Chains A and B, each alone.
Chain A
Amino acid sequence: MDPTLLRTPLFDWHVAQGARMVDFAGWAMPVQYASIIDEHRVTRGAVAITDISHMGRLRFEGPGAAVFLAELLTRRVADMELGQIRYSLLTNDQGGILDDVLVGYYHDSFGQPFYVVVVNAGNRQKIVDWIHAHLSRERAEVPGREVIFTDLSRLWAMFAIQGPKSVEVMQPLVNIDLQWMRYYRGARVQWLHPGAQRQGGIISRTGYTGEDGFELSVGAEIAPAIWQAIIDQGAPYGIVPCGLGARDTLRMEAGMPLYGHELSEQINPFEAGLGFACHLVGYDFPGRDALLRIQKEPLRRVRIGLEMSGQRVPRQGYPILSSGQHVGEVTSGTFSPTLKKPIAIGFVAPAFSKPGLELQVDLRGRAEPARVIELPFYQRDRRRA
């Protein structure tokens, strides 16, 4: 293992479990402990825990924080309720996607508001630089409108507990009633475990799997103890650790975009199907004018799902064809453990995006049939949650 890679507080645990560690955005991360397909199925059927401490967590506080974020993010911030979480984008001046993020709004123990913006690991440095470029010292120190920006990513671990048994596993470990926590809500909590040393953290009902579940921010020094406490709580439900391999197959089934695949600076939010995350009227942020213009133009390409009839798996960059003609490109592909067939997400010209349409994917020189499927490939029964 490359010793220059960043390590999460769970690094030793992963290695002791025999996980296959890979370089993910400069972090040594477990791609799988045993079988990706098994880890995927346990997440869908019961509950699994994933170390996502590589995710960037950026904290903004001070009286100017809300206005500062509103001038960077594509989506409203000022109207967020306490404990609310919102999916948003950061765009460059041309309207290209710099990153997709979750913004959470919380109060600290003194009742002071703060925001946490969760960014992709691979984009953290770029976004930190982008923030510094917009948050000059003069701006950050305007009396009465101060903005304090802290990169918490190395100070806090982050776990995802995902699956239909998530509430049962997490409830005994926190001092709030999780059953009534709504989707895309979060709260500061106390961990009810001696290993927490009276520290608190943040828990939110969010995830990247298409299942019910939670994401936790836990102080780095108590992270191994809390992780183990969750594993112990989850044992009766068959909890397993889940690597980034299964996290990827889960998010693909759930039709969720991933930066570097479905999202990039060359893709605009409307093409990616993320127009809902852009509030263009009455707000100003980098790229807004460009997006207002792009919104009026016809789309050049749209994001679609594909289901293969064969067993070979489409991969990023493979051409999508219609009667031999190049109409688009695959951005993500995998074998879907739930559907038991290969699936893909890609971009095609709008004329070829109708669900049910029969296309082909060029799989290393062989065109194989692919049917356009409405995303997501998988949706959980929400009556259960």
Chain B
Amino acid sequence: MSLDPKLLQYASTHEWILLEDGPGGAKMATVGVSDFAIHAMTDLVHLDLPEPGRGVQAGKPFGEVESVKAVSDLYSPVDGEIVEVNLALITPDPKTMFVNLDPLTHDPYGAGWLVKIRVKGGGQSELLDYATYKKQCDESE
């Protein structure tokens, strides 16, 4: 089940974020990469995600995604702690020993989500709504 990109918020570095109320009043953030960024990279070959439990800081890298042509850092939009990572994207297929990044390529707002973060501390990157983010992307083309 994919999220509606129009209802998400975006960092200028192309991560999307869904902020929800979690258990005990904590804010939970689901973070992924925008379709625009995936399309710009194409031919993804590697994804590096942190271990659950690791702290992240707004505006600081928490992982990297690599295509045939280049490697890009993934930036956390919020301060907090990684509580879950999308294991489907980083677990090698036992037969081929390759990870399958197709969900990230074809469904970045659904099966291609990256991490869930328990939001702690106040730090937060400037977040754009869909229209503003799309305008930024259109201008960069």
Contact = CB atoms under 8 A, between A and B. Distances in A.
Contacts of B69: 31, 36, 245
B71 A313 contact: yes
B45 A342 contact: yes
B48 interface: yes
A249 B46 CA distance: 16
A35 interface: yes
A31 B99 CA distance: 25
Interface string A77-96: 00000000000000000000
Interface residues of A, number: 18
A334 B43 CA distance: 11
Contacts of A37: 43, 68
A312 B68 contact: no
B42 A313 contact: no
A313 B43 contact: no
Given A315-B71, A335-B68, A36 B42 contact: yes
In the complex, which of the residues B42, B48, B68, B71 has the most CB atoms of chain A within 10 Å of its own CB atom?
A: B68
Given A36-B42, A37-B43, A312-B46, A249 B66 contact: no
B36 interface: no
Nearest to B90: A311
Contacts of B68: 36-37, 245, 249, 313, 334-335, 337
Contacts of B98: 311, 340
Given A312-B48, A313-B71, A340-B98, A32 B42 contact: yes
B99 A311 contact: yes
A311 B45 contact: yes
Nearest to B39: A20
A345 to B, nearest CB: 15
Contacts of B48: 312
Contacts of A34: 42
Given A312-B66, A313-B66, A340-B98, A36 B43 contact: yes
A335 B42 contact: no
B43 A35 contact: yes
A36 B64 CA distance: 20
A17 to B, nearest CB: 15
Interface string A36-52: 11000000000000000
Contacts of B64: 364
B108 to A, nearest CB: 16
Contacts of B46: 311-313, 335, 342
Contacts of A311: 45-46, 66, 98-99
Contacts of A313: 45-46, 66, 68, 71
Contacts of B43: 32, 35-37, 245, 335
A184 B43 CA distance: 33
Interface in A271-324: 311-313, 315
13 contacts: A31-B69, A32-B43, A34-B42, A36-B42, A36-B69, A245-B43, A311-B46, A312-B71, A313-B71, A334-B68, A335-B43, A335-B45, A342-B46
Interface of A: 31-32, 34-37, 245, 249, 311-313, 315, 334-335, 337, 340, 342, 364
Interface of B: 42-43, 45-46, 48, 64, 66, 68-69, 71, 98-99
Given A32-B42, A36-B42, A245-B69, 5 more contacts: A35-B43, A37-B43, A311-B46, A311-B98, A342-B46
